[in-house]
Chains A and B, each alone.
Chain A
């Protein structure tokens, strides 16, 4: 049963991935549609980041995580190196939790 779950998930996930990659060649997209694809990908990634920053299993994730993300984003906006962004976001959230924030 467990093997079936893993294989079904693996095949389905790979199917989604490879379908998009291979479809790109088959579809003869006009220029404006090709330009819209990265816009769509950016919207998906932004939605993913926002839900991951704010929610946990459908509910508010508590304050420590969004605060950490906010610090990271502000640093990125001020053109801080990527490593600093990651460390500052994680550090802020960890510190706030150490201080008792949810």
Chain B
């Protein structure tokens, strides 16, 4: 695991260095570039913001950057209970949540292993990105173009490699492929960030269908409805082919039932 994180971390140092160099070349003072990497910590939005600030449109820089980062909300929903129970862990862990850290974490089975993966990837990648930025600011023009090293190909390949195990599940595979196709086709038409968010349309449809089925089952129980689904078919579709690799159901469900119940009692 450490070696895998180190591989993507090395690439992040290089891209962080190119960010630092690009931002300084665009006229930003060094302290601002370093502060941006520390406080914003989102590569894509940082590159975009530097470009738009240099072009003289700071408001657009903020709006475009935030649109690009809206995807972190569903990431947080997914990783919420992996990060830890304590509030300070959650507050700190939230800042370390990136695409790569999320992919690393979700590639591990739920439980202690997944939690360790999150913190290892989160901390190391944060250090890598910021060390890279400082190097880039100091080295300035000496840092080469990351495209010449092929680093722009390394990140998508790494993300897909991390996703591959979860794609063995049929529903996940369909949602991922559909999301990728929708995002690529709408990229020329929509502002950056929005196409990626459209990938949530597939899972959202699954959710709506699930809700409808629930509703029809409930109707079948209370009255003599014709559409009464047999109860067996009402369980979530992914559950049919549970494999040890995505041990999500059992472990997470049991881990969460207790605190949820406790909360209800205390709120009374």
Contact = CB atoms under 8 A, between A and B. Distances in A.
Interface residues of A, number: 80
Interface of B: 3-4, 6-8, 11, 28-29, 32, 35-36, 39-42, 45, 49, 53, 58, 61-62, 65-66, 69-81, 83, 90-91, 93-95, 97, 99, 102-103, 106, 147-164, 166-167, 169, 171-172, 175-184, 187-188, 192, 195-200, 202-204, 206-207, 210, 235-236, 238-239, 246, 248-249, 252-253, 256, 259-260, 264
Nearest to B187: A55
Nearest to B42: A13
A33 B157 CA distance: 29
A25 B58 CA distance: 35
Contacts of A58: 187-188, 192
Interface of A: 1-10, 12-14, 16-25, 27-28, 31-55, 57-59, 61, 64-69, 71-73, 76-77, 81-83, 85-95, 97
A69 B157 contact: yes
B158 A72 contact: yes
Given A39-B238, A58-B187, A76-B157, A46 B76 contact: no
A97 B147 contact: yes
Given A44-B75, A69-B156, A93-B153, 19 more contacts: A13-B66, A18-B94, A20-B73, A20-B76, A36-B206, A36-B210, A38-B106, A39-B169, A39-B171, A39-B206, A44-B197, A45-B103, A47-B198, A48-B159, A50-B181, A54-B184, A64-B153, A73-B164, A82-B162
Contacts of B70: 16
A3 B29 CA distance: 11
Given A43-B199, A47-B196, A19 B102 contact: no
Contact of A31 (B83, B202, B253): B253
B154 A83 contact: no
A69 B74 contact: no
Contacts of A45: 99, 102-103, 106, 159, 162-163, 176
Which 8 residue pairs of A and B lie closest in terms of their CB atoms, listed nearest first? Answer: A20-B76, A24-B80, A72-B157, A68-B153, A93-B150, A47-B199, A89-B157, A94-B150
Given A58-B187, A90-B153, A39 B249 contact: no
Contacts, number: 324
Contacts of A18: 76, 90-91, 94-95
B210 A82 contact: no
Contacts of B66: 9, 12-13, 16
A44 B199 contact: yes
Given A46-B163, A46-B176, A68-B153, A20 B77 contact: yes
Nearest to B100: A45
B154 A42 contact: no
Given A39-B238, A40-B74, A50-B156, A22 B180 contact: no
A89 B163 contact: no
